[in-house]
Amino acid sequence: MIDLHTHCFFSDGELVPAEHLRRVEVLGYEAIAITDHADSSNIDFILPRILKAARDMNPFSSTRLLAGVELTHVPPQLMAELTRYARELGAQIVVGHGETVVEPVKTGTNRAALEAGVDLLAHPGLITVEDARLAAEKGIMLELSGRRGHSLTNGHVARVAEACGAKLAINADAHGPGDFLTSDMARIVALGAGLSVERYKKIRKDMSAFVAGIG
């Protein structure tokens, strides 16, 4: 199992990074990314701390901790600047908080995040075909979410992604210990979105290749 979108107590999660990592290690995870909610006010606070946690704990864990951020409710006009800044700070993964149907995210956020070159567009809601094509062109993953509310549009995201050849990722968007997905639950998320078991296995391989590519 790999999860590229989770939160610890540096934003609205419940756990310190050490417990966060340990809980998924027990579940047999290959890797997990902590991607706390960020904008221009806190990005330079969050990333150095998660990077330090990863440096300190990875030598002692069978699960690899990745350091990232989720650029959240950021005005579309600032998405490119903050994506660049996150990478300058050492982010191993940059997540764009997409236009979920259960939050008032500004229209145009999906497109701005894709144009900025984020690695993952989280819960992209009723993403357009044009935006899914851009994600495919740039190799950006579109998320199928295991989180209540955000998961309402998983079927739409899966259909559009499949039609456009866009990569998919399955993530918990975990905020606490009860949120982490098992491999069985991740499989259910995929099948519930209308994908085949074979496609689910391909998603897991793609996520593993992304982590391997980080180095």
Assess whether pLDDT exceeds 80 at residue 152: yes
- Give the residues across from 3 on adjacent strands: 32
When computed from its CA atoms, the radius of gyration of the chain, rounded to whole angstroms, is 16
H helices, E strands: number in the chain? 8, 7
Q: How far is the C-alpha of 126 from the C-alpha of 149, rounded, in Å? A: 13
Q: Look up the pTM and report it.
A: 0.97
Where do we find the tokens 């495919």?
A: 136
For residue range 167-205, what is the model confidence (pLDDT) as tens digits?
A: 999 999 999 999 999 999 999 999 999 999 999 999 999
Backbone angles phi, psi at 100, to 5 degrees: -55, 145
Domain boundaries, the chain: 2-214
Tell which CATH architecture fits domain 2-214. Answer: Alpha-Beta Barrel (3.20)
CA-CA-CA-CA dihedral for 193, 99, 33, 201, to nearest 10: 20
**Measured distance CA(8)–CA(15) in Å, rounded:** 5
Do 166 and 205 form a contact (C-beta atoms < 8 A)? no
Instruction: Dump pLDDT digits (tens) for 105-134.
Output: 999 999 999 999 999 999 999 999 999 999
